Structure 1
Amino acid sequence: MKAFIVANYASGVGKCALFMPTVERVLQKENIEYSVFRTVDKETDIRTVRENINNCDVLICLGGDGTVNEVINAALAESSKTPIGYIPCGSTNDFATNYSLPTNPGKAMKRILEMNAKPIDVGCLNGRYFCYVAAAGAFSEVSYATKREKKRFFGKAAYLLEGARSVPKIKPISLHVETDGETFEGKYLICTFSNSSRIGGIFHFAKGMVDYSDGKMELALIEDPGNAPDLLLLLHDLVKGNFQNRCIRIVRTDRVRITSDSEIAWSLDGEYGGSYRETDLFALNRRFILLC
């Protein structure tokens, strides 16, 4: 067996550097040939993974949600069937939480080497892939606006600090949404298209509500309630997973088209995903092979 390791030493609070000795020790004990690539920048990372992903039996990724996003974009660009093992080292690790992936490197390596492959869905936004969420509106810029140094030092608290700063700036975005023959139009605080049971501590879908391999994703449209008391109630209901609130609309779908009079900034797996007036999102069924 041959393994290719993608290691993001800048992710999280330095976990990658702490985990790597265990990862290498396990591979050496099992007499598995391996090489290590330390991430540099998005363009270099994706290019390097593309060059190597079809020349190994397993790719092992150490990093945060953004690192997984790079690996997925490289894998799909190469139409690769190489299974991916993921050891979460980031600040939030929402993607890993969905699949109950171990955060202990020894346990993570044990599970990876069992080679229990699970095909999962991924999303696409205007030609760019994401592993669990595309988000626009309030707080969507928090993840990519939070400086890497803050993420490394404060961990999850960095997002909370940046989120608190953004509260006074909350403004609804006007969207025209088309999906499955239905049309929705209004002013929304948040819009997400996701394949995840939780999103950045804001959404918590009930267990069993999300199927990670059914070819569909959850479109969430959170309408502006128009006043402060109802906004507080809305945020409370979102965090608690109470989707009966009149301002919350959840639609399970495989495709959606969103248009706006102005450019809307999107976050893909916590990283900046571009700004668009016209946005096409769709799910790709069972296109990514995860070892879990």
Structure 2
Amino acid sequence: MSKKMLFIYNPMAGKEQIKNKLSEIIQIFCKEGFEVTIFATRGREDATKIIEKKGERYDYIVCSGGDGTMNEVATGIMKLEKRPICGYIPAGTVNDFASSLKIPRVMKNAASLIADGDVFNCDMGKFNDRYFTYVAGFGAFTEVSYQTPQEWKNALGKAAYFIEALKHIADIKPHHMKIEYDGGVIEDEFILGLISNSVSVAGYKYYEKKNIKMDDGLFEALLIKSLKNPIELQQVLNALLSKQLDAENMCYLSSSFIHIISDDDIQWTIDGEDGGCCKDAYMQNMKEALSIICDRRALAKVSSKRAIE
């Protein structure tokens, strides 16, 4: 029997390369025995809405786009009682989630992986009433992703994020917060927080030396306290560049939940997109909630079960 697939793509993602690759990708799917229905997104949450409406009719839901498109697809799947297997053909600028799962950047190779790869039951994050695949963040640099113009992303790639970031360094504002997690409570002033389930954030593998697993039911949280002078800023930058996350003004922790209560409204970003403002953010790790196809070579790095074997 043929396997039914809903293929969702964002025609504007990355450098709009999907426009020249769509026919080749569909041919690969058909050759592998998939019965394909195609849906092109036209606006925000289109992918989530079509999955909520029709997702349970399909065995596979595959998407092509950036991390924002992947977030919308994963969100739609999470809302279904019967969840199809997910596939991802990255077409965005950075594609942190795909990088962590060793999904190829060459689109035809990523399409071939849909039929040949392994199904990995990946953790998902829940941020209040929203979902995220790999990161929720606040503060310095986290606003850059959705403020960076799309044409800059297309033309400059990762460099566009840092060009935009440099414009905002002087605007960094510390926030007084109480942070609850599995190990206790922290209360201090912070300028940045990244709560992730990924070995890569913003294209850089800051957590590479931490042996991150993406199915262990735990978030990795990186928090940077208020920096009082250029020396402290340089110490933090050196720690990030060396991937030794032990500078005096940094906190690194693992937890199944993170609850952040702040004195003022905090602007959040979720999977690189605008996450809105709130004073109370509760993030829960939803263990092994998303079944997604990955390169089997990734399992030794990201799967706690493969590590045990």
TM-score of the superposed pair, with normalisation by structure 1? 0.95
Q: State the 1:201 CA deviation.
A: 4.1
Contact 1:22 1:105 in 2 (8 A): no
The amino acid of 1:22's aligned partner reads E
What's the CA shift string for 1:162-200, capped at 9, x where partnerless? 111111212222211111251111111211111011211
Asked if residue 142 in structure 1 is aligned to residue 126 in structure 2, the reply is no
The alpha carbon displacement at 1:30 in A equals 3.3
Mean Cα deviation higher: 87-96 or 148-157: 148-157
Cα distance in 2 between the residues matched to 1:207 and 1:114: 29
Structure 1, unaligned runs of 5 or more:
none
- 1:128 counterpart residue number: 130
Alignment identity in percent?
30
Residue 269 of structure 2 corresponds to residue 272 of structure 1: no
Task: Compute the displacement of 1:115 (Å).
Answer: 5.3
Aligned 1:207-226 pairs, distance under 5 A: 207=209, 209-226=211-228
Equivalent in the alignment of 1:3: 5
C-alpha deviation, 1:275, in angstroms: 0.8
| Contact residue 191 and residue 219 of structure 1 kept, 8 A | yes
Per-residue Cα deviation, 1:186-223 (whole angstroms, up to 9, x for no partner): 11121111101121146611256211000111121111
Amino acid at match of 1:19: K
Whole-Å separation in 2 of the counterparts to 1:42 and 1:80: 24
* Cα separation, 2, equivalents of 1:288 and 1:21: 28
| CA displacement, residues 67-126 of structure 1 (integer Å, 9 cap, x when unaligned) | 000001101111342111101100110111101111122221221112521100010111
Alignment match, 1:240 = 242
Closer, same or farther in 2 for the Cα pair 1:283/1:115, shift >3 Å? same
- In the alignment, does 2:105 pair up with 1:103? yes
Tell me the equivalent position of 2:70: 68
Name the amino acid aligned to 2:233: L
Structure 1 equivalent of residue 60 of structure 2: 58
What is the letter of the counterpart of residue 64 of structure 1?
G
Length, aligned pairs only: 292
5+ residue gaps, structure 2: 295-309
Confirm whether residue 77 of structure 1 aligns to residue 79 of structure 2: yes
Contact 1:197-1:207 within 8 A present in 2 as well: no
Q: Deviations over 1:49-68 (max 9, x none)?
A: 22232111211110000000
**Alpha-carbon distance in structure 2 between the residues aligned to 1:287 and 1:177:** 25
SS at match of 2:265: strand
TM-score normalised to the size of structure 2? 0.90
Of 104, 111, 114, the residue aligned with 1:112 is 114
Q: Deviations over 1:224-253 (max 9, x none)?
A: 231112202211211321112111111110
Bigger drift between 253-262 and 203-212 goes to 203-212
Distance in 2 (alpha carbons) for counterparts of 1:36 and 1:2: 11
Counterpart AA for 1:192 = L
SS of aligned partner of 1:288: strand
Deviates most, 111-120 or 272-281: 111-120
Matched, 1:32 2:34: yes
Partner of 1:173: 175
